[in-house]
Chains A and B, each alone.
Chain A
Amino acid sequence: MFSRLATSGFRIYSSLRNTVVRLPAAGYQSQYSIEKLYPNSSLDFTSPNFKVHRQLTHTQTENDKFSGYIPVDELDVRYSRSSGPGGQNVNKVSTKVEVRFHVQSASWIPDFAKEILLQNEQTRITKDGFLVVRSEKTRKQMLNQADCLEKIRSMIWRASILPREPTEEEIAIMEKRKSRAKQEILREKRAHSLKKRMREGPGMNSL
């Protein structure tokens, strides 16, 4: 669709019920038309950016790291009624959202992260190995579903943090802090020692 638009230079509008009218590429165009404001952008704002899409899925299959993308199709989403006060609305509307997926068979999580996830979130994982996340935080089902996904995403981010060596800068900062702390301790020790000595009063050898 996008290539057809780009190469042919025509845009097809259906102005009447069943007829298709071919208009030139500029139907009405003022100087502020989107084509003039953003000449490098494709006008087709609806189609998902397949290049980005491919990148995201590619990194996941390589099991390098988690990119933040969650394929919603592979999650099992269930709706039920929430608890708490709320009268007729809470009794009738399914606002509670439960999202579950099988951790080991999830292709979108890198393998090393799966192990850590199973350990970290033991309380949320069933005997069969499904991670279950529930939310009845808000009054809207959509927001509760967003909350569930937010929780899952942050769990996986935390589980996929790779332990890394400190950089040279970080080592230098740590050394500096250690030495300053050490100097402070020594200063306090000297002050304390002086205080104790002063209490003893003048001795035989002092003036």
Chain B
Amino acid sequence: MASVEKALSLLKNLPRVNLGNLKPLPGRRGKKPDRRGQHGGKNRGFGDGANNLPRMGFEGGNVPFYRRMPVEPYYKDHAFRKQYPPLSLLQLQRLVDLGRIDTTEPIDLTTLCNTKVITVNPHLKHYGINLTDEGADIFEAKVNIEIQWTNEIAIAAIEKSGGTITTKFYDLQCIDAMVNPLLFFNRGIPIPRCKLPSMDVIEYYSDAKNRGYLADPELIRQARIELAQKMGYNLADPSQDPLYEMLTKRKDPRQIWFGLSPGWVVNLKHKTVLKPNDPELIEYYQS
């Protein structure tokens, strides 16, 4: 296009931006003050009427717009409340039975969103998926699942069937990436490193009873035995299991997808992965 070429040639030939060659946009200067009315400016009154305007937002005495809106305590901090749209064990079992989920690979937020059975929208403060206990009695699938919220019965149902479950926290930017990875990769942004949980949920994710990703593995091991004794089932010996490697696979706390590290840029068009070279960037993404 001619305009593009012109713009590029200008960029090439013109001197660099400098304090000496800046100019305001046409029409910005020379704006004369409004001389009308009681409070108008430019040389009128003693001391030119300094401080002659009332406060911003004043409307002559009636209750101004910014004070007309009532405040209700019930929605206090609503923007900070985390929501986890539910997915039941029944739905999960159905997906596995119908072959919509591959149980030979770990199950992730991305896997579950790809099935289109559940919609997770980070703009609505959805911080992931809540695995509910509906269908716990009939659940049989052996899976390695990673969700963001769950309860004791759901954990028991999964471990009873020989699987593993982990609760992992993702911040909203990561949720946005995970929910639609193709869209994210097309943006050309490096894979973000996942933030640590905020104060309201860090205890949840550090607790072995919730199989939190920040909990001590020794405590998780104990919690598994305790839950099995409480609910009345036997824990299968995992070392005999051919799927042992897959079942014990876990992400790093800063990692979003298996096999991809934070800082990498995935180029789907050319089927390449670009990794940072700069030592500062490498250090940042490793921390």
Which residues on A are within 8 Å of B, measured CB to CB?
A: 1-2, 12-15, 27-34, 37-38, 41-49, 52-53, 68-70, 72-73, 75, 77, 93, 95, 99, 140-143, 145-146, 148-150
Q: Measured between C-beta atoms, what is the minimum distance from A83 to chain B in Å?
A: 18
CA distance A46 to B233 in the complex (A): 15
Q: Measured between C-beta atoms, what is the minimum distance from A104 to chain B in Å?
A: 22
Q: A13-B245, A41-B216 are in contact. Are A146 and B137 (CB under 8 A)?
A: no
State the main secondary structure of chain A at its contact with B: loop
- Interface pick from B49-57, B107-115, B246-254: B246-254
> Can you give 7 contacting A-B residue pairs, CB < 8 Å?
A30-B253, A45-B248, A48-B225, A52-B222, A93-B137, A99-B232, A149-B231
- Interface contact A12-B235, CB-CB below 8 Å: no
Within 8 A of A (CB), among B133-148: 133, 136-137
- Interface contact B253-A145, CB-CB below 8 Å: no
Inter-chain contacts of B248 with A (CB < 8 A): 43-46
- Interface contact B239-A47, CB-CB below 8 Å: yes
- Interface contact A12-B287, CB-CB below 8 Å: no
- Interface contact A43-B232, CB-CB below 8 Å: no
Minimum CB distance partner of A49 in chain B: B221
- Interface contact B286-A31, CB-CB below 8 Å: yes
Within 8 A of A (CB), among B216-271: 216-218, 220-222, 224-225, 228-235, 237-239, 244-250, 252-255, 258-259, 261-262
Inter-chain contacts of B255 with A (CB < 8 A): 28, 30
Inter-chain contacts of A41 with B (CB < 8 A): 216-218
Minimum CB distance partner of A31 in chain B: B287
Minimum CB distance partner of A44 in chain B: B248
Inter-chain contacts of A30 with B (CB < 8 A): 193, 252-255, 262, 285-287
CA distance A77 to B136 in the complex (A): 17
CA distance A115 to B103 in the complex (A): 49
- Interface contact B234-A148, CB-CB below 8 Å: no
CA distance A27 to B224 in the complex (A): 26
**Could you say which of B213, B225, B249 contacts A49, with CB atoms under 8 Å apart?**
B225
Q: Is B167 an interface residue (CB 8 A)?
A: no
**Could you say which of A15, A37, A95, A149 contacts B230, with CB atoms under 8 Å apart?**
A149
Inter-chain contacts of B218 with A (CB < 8 A): 38, 41-42, 45, 49
Q: A31-B287, A146-B232 are in contact. Are A44 and B217 (CB under 8 A)?
A: yes
CA distance A13 to B248 in the complex (A): 10
- Interface contact A95-B287, CB-CB below 8 Å: no
Chain B interface size, as a band, is: 35 or more
Report the 7 A-B pairs with minimum CB-CB distance, sorted nearest first. A30-B254, A45-B217, A28-B261, A45-B220, A1-B239, A46-B238, A141-B137
Minimum CB distance partner of B238 in chain A: A46
Inter-chain contacts of A93 with B (CB < 8 A): 137
CA distance A31 to B262 in the complex (A): 13
CA distance A77 to B248 in the complex (A): 30
- Interface contact B217-A33, CB-CB below 8 Å: no
Q: Measured between C-beta atoms, what is the minimum distance from B252 to chain A in Å?
A: 5
Q: A30-B255, A46-B221, A48-B224 are in contact. Are A142 and B216 (CB under 8 A)?
A: no
- Interface contact B245-A12, CB-CB below 8 Å: yes
Q: Measured between C-beta atoms, what is the minimum distance from B156 to chain A in Å?
A: 6
Inter-chain contacts of A44 with B (CB < 8 A): 217, 221, 248
Inter-chain contacts of B238 with A (CB < 8 A): 1, 46-47
Minimum CB distance partner of A68 in chain B: B229
Inter-chain contacts of B213 with A (CB < 8 A): 34
- Interface contact A95-B252, CB-CB below 8 Å: no
Q: Measured between C-beta atoms, what is the minimum distance from B279 to chain A in Å?
A: 16
- Interface contact B237-A48, CB-CB below 8 Å: yes
Q: Is B157 an interface residue (CB 8 A)?
A: yes
Given contact pairs A15-B258, A46-B238, A140-B136, a sample of 14 additional A-B residue pairs in the complex whose CB atoms are under 8 Å apart: A12-B245, A13-B259, A28-B254, A28-B262, A38-B217, A41-B218, A43-B217, A45-B220, A49-B225, A73-B234, A75-B232, A142-B137, A142-B153, A143-B153
Inter-chain contacts of A13 with B (CB < 8 A): 245, 249, 258-259
**Could you say which of A43, A53, A73, A145 contacts B231, with CB atoms under 8 Å apart?**
A145
Minimum CB distance partner of B136 in chain A: A142
Inter-chain contacts of A70 with B (CB < 8 A): 229, 232
- Interface contact A1-B261, CB-CB below 8 Å: no
Q: A142-B136, A142-B157 are in contact. Are A47 and B237 (CB under 8 A)?
A: yes
